């Protein structure tokens, strides 16, 4: 999913929570309340929270019992997924608003019921984003529960987290032959600061991922990330979004451009800034936005000598807009168009290719809501990317994006997705590759506090200009146990395989993870 859609349509990645609470019965709120929440959500997060507060003020019985509060939470949470920007603070605000309004004798029970409902929506929201070619990193988080106390700092709340994992990897270097196995530990502390304002919002977060292998210490990494995002509610119908992110990360050994025979993973720095405006005019929603991303790679070394990665340094600028018609609560069609400009710092890469390019993506789509339990989005269009080097073939291909989110009850979740994008490469002779992916994630509460998770995806990298096609299969199964509201543990098995018509690129990998997390 490209960077501009982060500013236009989707939420920032917040981790995929893997902890479900006990499924509870719920009482659906009156139709007028649901309609009021939907109308409020048309004006963004602030409008939804105003509508939620108004509904509770008019009818306190909506939060008088856990079942009623859970039904109200579902009606509010199902409006959030289409918001621009970071959605986790909105889900937490819904939980806090309903819990604070509940009568004192039932407040704890209301909080548990609302948290279970809202956390489920947050899981499906995060899970609709397609993973990269090799799936999430080995240290993928358990994910923080939604109903957390945090540390109050005036009109802000600070949420500390600490996640740890130990894992076994059967093929550390992602090689076709002579795989090397090893174990590793991951420690991931994090902080999130969220505002508690009735109007506007400001959120910051940061964290570390410190991975230490037991034998192959050359694979040790220390990644970090910091981000900030603000929303200005200029009027009841106008929101302005601004955000920035900086991170130090590394390429998984199984990525298409991973350095062969490298003595360690390729390290790179990712700097992003984005902004957008959303305006409602009657039943129409108009959005415009832009984003800039800068990637800077460190040089690496191999058994044959140093490798210059500076020829991969680049800046990507995207800008575009969206028009959506929201009159129908079940289908909201939209048109989207995005320009995509990629500028490489070096005029030519190490093989003499000029890889700077210009492109676009445009098409039609719709958000859909078949019933309160089944929602999603579908987009179909066309995208192109043309390159400065005349020897690099222009890429023309259909564009698509699909998501389906099904949540029939608190303990059951299903997310299905599909996505296609044009990615850069340094493979000689290839202008880039078209990456297509389809996948699904299913979660089912087995017993109270214990949830089972199944996930599978298939992806294909089709290189343009050379005879190379990589197929990826990624599947995992796991279980999560919520020890307390603040502590969770998990166990996962994951299988990854890449089949390529370039023989050296084939590999398969088995991984087993034991995880634990503390959230406050």
Domain ranges for the chain, please list them: 3-14+120-519
- Strand 300-302 versus strand 238-250 pairing type: unpaired
Q: Whole-angstrom distance between the N-terminal and C-terminal Cα of the chain? A: 31
> Looking at residue 77, what is its pLDDT?
86
Residues 6 or more apart from 324 whose CB is under 8 A from it?
A: 284, 285, 287, 332, 333, 334, 367
Provide the whole-model pTM.
0.84
Instruction: Confirm if 143 and 100 have CB atoms less than 8 A apart.
Output: no
Centroid of chain to Cα 300: 29
273 DSSP β-pair partners:
244, 292
What single DSSP character describes residue 215?
S
Q: Tell me the pLDDT tens digit for each residue of 36-76.
A: 888 888 788 888 888 999 999 999 999 999 989 988 988 88
Assign domain 3-14+120-519 one CATH number from 1.10.10, 3.55.50, 2.40.160, 1.10.3470: 2.40.160
Name the stretches of the chain with pLDDT < 70: 1-26, 124-147, 258-262
* Spatial distance between the Cα atoms of 520 and 509, rounded to a whole number of angstroms: 34
- Residue 215 structure tokens: 């034998």
CB of 330 closer than 8 Å to CB of 324: no
Per-residue confidence (pLDDT) for residue 329, from 0 to 100: 84
C-alpha distances (whole Å) from 405 to each of 121, 133, 366, 391, 446 are 9, 22, 14, 43, 20
């Amino acid at each position: 999913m490209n960077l501009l859609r982060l500013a236009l349509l989707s939420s920032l990645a917040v981790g995929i929570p893997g902890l479900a609470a006990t499924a509870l019965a719920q009482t659906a709120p009156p139709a007028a309340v649901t309609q009021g929440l939907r109308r409020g959500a048309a004006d963004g997060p602030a409008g939804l929270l105003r509508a939620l507060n108004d509904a509770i003020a008019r009818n306190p019985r909506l939060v008088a019992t856990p079942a009623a509060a859970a039904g109200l939470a579902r009606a509010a949470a199902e409006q959030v997924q289409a918001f621009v920007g970071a959605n986790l603070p909105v889900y937490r605000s819904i939980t806090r608003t309903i819990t604070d309004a509940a009568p004192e004798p039932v407040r704890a029970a209301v909080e548990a019921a609302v948290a279970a409902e809202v956390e489920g929506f947050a899981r499906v929201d995060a899970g609709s984003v397609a993973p990269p070619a090799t799936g999430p990193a080995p240290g993928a988080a358990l994910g923080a529960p939604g109903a957390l106390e945090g540390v109050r700092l005036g009109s802000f709340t600070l949420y500390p987290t600490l996640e740890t994992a130990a894992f076994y990897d059967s093929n550390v270097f992602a090689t076709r032959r002579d795989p090397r196995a090893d174990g590793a530990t991951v420690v991931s502390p994090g902080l999130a600061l969220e505002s508690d304002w009735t109007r506007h919002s400001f959120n910051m977060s940061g964290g570390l991922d410190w991975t230490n292998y037991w034998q192959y210490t050359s694979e040790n990494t220390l990644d970090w990330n910091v981000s900030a995002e603000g929303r200005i509610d200029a009027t009841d119908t106008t929101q302005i979004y601004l955000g920035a992110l900086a991170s130090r990360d590394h390429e998984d050994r199984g990525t298409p451009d991973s350095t062969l025979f490298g003595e360690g993973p390729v390290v790179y720095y990712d700097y992003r800034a984005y902004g957008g405006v959303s305006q409602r005019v009657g039943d129409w929603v108009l959005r415009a936005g832009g984003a800039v991303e800068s990637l800077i790679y460190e040089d690496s070394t191999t058994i044959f000598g140093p490798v210059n990665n500076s020829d991969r340094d680049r800046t990507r600028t995207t800008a575009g807009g969206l028009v959506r018609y929201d009159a129908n609560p079940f289908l909201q069609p939209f048109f989207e168009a995005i320009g995509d400009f990629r500028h490489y710092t070096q005029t030519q890469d190490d093989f003499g290719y000029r890889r700077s390019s210009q492109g676009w993506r445009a098409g039609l789509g719709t958000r859909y809501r078949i019933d309160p339990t089944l929602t999603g989005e579908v987009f179909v269009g066309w995208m192109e990317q043309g390159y400065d080097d005349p020897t690099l073939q222009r890429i023309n291909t259909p564009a698509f994006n699909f998501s389906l989110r099904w949540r029939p009850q608190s303990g059951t979740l299903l997310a299905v997705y599909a996505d296609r994008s044009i990615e850069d490469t340094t493979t000689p002779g290839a202008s880039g590759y078209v990456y297509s992916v389809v996948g699904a994630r299913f979660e089912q509460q087995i017993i109270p506090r214990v949830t089972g998770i199944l996930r599978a995806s298939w992806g294909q990298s089709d290189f343009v200009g050379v005879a190379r096609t990589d197929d990826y299969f990624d599947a995992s199964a796991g279980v999560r146990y919520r020890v307390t509201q603040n502590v969770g543990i998990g166990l996962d098995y994951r299988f990854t395989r890449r089949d390529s018509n370039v023989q050296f690129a084939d590999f398969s990998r088995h991984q087993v993870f034991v995880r634990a997390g503390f959230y406050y």
